[in-house]
């Protein structure tokens, strides 16, 4: 849920926060921060208010004050729903987490679900599912067929639309219950369930209720790895899901640098191509084809990425 939608429980503090928002939207971030400080004097345990104060301080260029505010968010929000740990890492105050807080990702997409497709497809020109499907048909032909496919991070079902004509049985998994509800409305999936790809095979939710290992001859993760950071765990899960010779399709936002992956100001992870190739090979897959692409637009600028079609070694 967006912090502006969460009340402090104090009417005057909420009004001051509303004024602060208007000031920030008008470009006066310093005045917004000062007004948020006044609001927090009235509601000192308001987690979302401390987050807003940190965000306004960042925009005003007062990073030290922002770090103090985000530390207060951490203290009041042990589940890290507002991703203070990521914001602190972006500011250089803390080390980059290997994975984002699951509670943050779930809350982010629960809030985003009602407007997800309008925002992502129509406003941000997101076309990764179509591009991955075209890459696969270029390799296997328009009459390709799969017995059992698993759509990881299925969201509202954009990838499912592309997969369904070629698949006998289609599963979809997502961390966000709001996204799963939207995917259910499409009536594409034979099975939908919640899963956390940052956890182990025993705990992630992909193998509950008798769902077997080595069951999928197609696994897809479109626009998912940007919320995972380190990839060895999720690639291991895919290897456990996949049959021998199964295809695994996925996308990344690209990182250029010595590190294998980095955390962008968007709080999404970006991955280096060499790192991805190393990890996918370690998990037992070979790359059949890859291509650079624009993942989406962000602030009017293209976000560069890579698309991969890989196959599990027999």
Contact status, residue 276 vs residue 306, Cβ threshold 8 Å: yes
pLDDT attached to residue 118: 85
Maximum pairwise Cα distance, the chain: 65
Q: What is the pLDDT of residues 1-11, one digit of tens each?
A: 556 567 888 89
Amino acid 64: pLDDT: 97
Q: Do the beta carbons of residue 110 and residue 1 sit within 8 Å?
A: yes
The CATH T-level fold of domain 3-95 is 1.25.40
Which residue has tokens 């890290």?
Answer: 80
The single residue listed with the structure tokens 């059992």 is 148
51: how many CB neighbours lie within 10 A of its CB?
25
Task: Name the one residue in this structure whose structure tokens are 């190739």.
Answer: 277
Q: Tell the residue number behind the tokens 């509303």, with chain if given.
A: 18
The closest alpha carbon to 182, from 212, 161, 202, belongs to 161
Angle at Cα 288 formed by Cα 287 and Cα 289, nearest 5°?
Answer: 95
Cβ(91)–Cβ(63) below 8 Å? yes
C-alpha 253, offset from chain centre: 11
Record: fold of 110-312: Rossmann fold (3.40.50)
3-95 with 110-312: one CATH topology?
A: no
d(C-alpha 256, C-alpha 30), whole Å: 33
pLDDT digits (tens, 9 = 90+) for 257-285: 888 999 999 999 999 999 999 999 999 99
Give the model confidence (pLDDT) of 196-207 as tens digits: 999 999 999 999
What's the pLDDT at 9?
Answer: 86
Check: pTM over 0.95? Answer yes or no. Answer: no
pLDDT of amino acid 98: 93
Strand partners, 149: 170, 218
* DSSP string covering 258-297: SSSEEE-TTS-EEE-HHHHHHHHHHTTEEEEEEEEEEEEE
Domain boundaries, the chain: 3-95, 110-312
Q: Is pLDDT of 210 > 80?
A: no
Lowest mean pLDDT among 64-68, 116-120, 160-164: 116-120
Report the percentage of the chain scoring pLDDT > 90: 88
């Amino acid at each position: 849920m967006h912090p502006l939608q969460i009340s402090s429980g104090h009417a005057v503090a909420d009004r001051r926060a509303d004024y602060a928002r208007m000031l920030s939207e008008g470009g006066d971030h310093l005045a917004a921060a000062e007004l948020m400080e006044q609001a927090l004097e009235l509601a000192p345990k308001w987690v979302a208010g401390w987050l807003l104060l940190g965000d306004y301080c960042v925009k005003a260029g007062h990073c030290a004050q922002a770090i103090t505010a985000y530390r207060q968010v951490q203290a009041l929000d042990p589940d890290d729903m507002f991703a203070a740990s990521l914001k602190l890492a972006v500011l250089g105050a803390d080390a980059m987490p290997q994975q984002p807080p699951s509670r943050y990702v779930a809350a982010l997409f629960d809030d985003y679900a009602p407007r997800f497709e309008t925002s992502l497809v129509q406003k941000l020109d997101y076309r990764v599912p179509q591009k991955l499907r075209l890459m696969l048909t270029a390799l296997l032909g328009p009459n390709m067929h799969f017995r059992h496919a698993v759509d990881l991070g299925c969201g509202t079902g954009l990838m499912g639309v592309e997969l369904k004509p070629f698949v006998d049985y289609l599963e979809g998994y997502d961390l966000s219950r709001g996204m799963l509800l939207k995917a259910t409305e499409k009536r594409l999936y034979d099975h939908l369930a919640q899963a956390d790809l940052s956890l182990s095979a025993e705990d992630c939710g992909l193998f509950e209720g008798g769902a077997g290992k080595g069951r999928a001859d197609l696994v897809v993760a479109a626009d998912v790895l940007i919320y995972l950071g380190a990839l060895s765990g999720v690639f291991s899960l895919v290897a456990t899901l996949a049959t021998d010779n199964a295809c695994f399709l996925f996308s990344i936002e690209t990182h250029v640098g010595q590190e294998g992956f980095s955390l962008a100001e968007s709080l999404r992870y970006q991955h280096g191509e060499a790192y991805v190739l190393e990890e996918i090979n370690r998990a037992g897959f070979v790359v059949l084809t890859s291509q650079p692409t624009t993942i989406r637009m962000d602030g009017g600028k293209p976000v560069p990425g890579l698309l991969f079609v890989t196959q599990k070694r027999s």
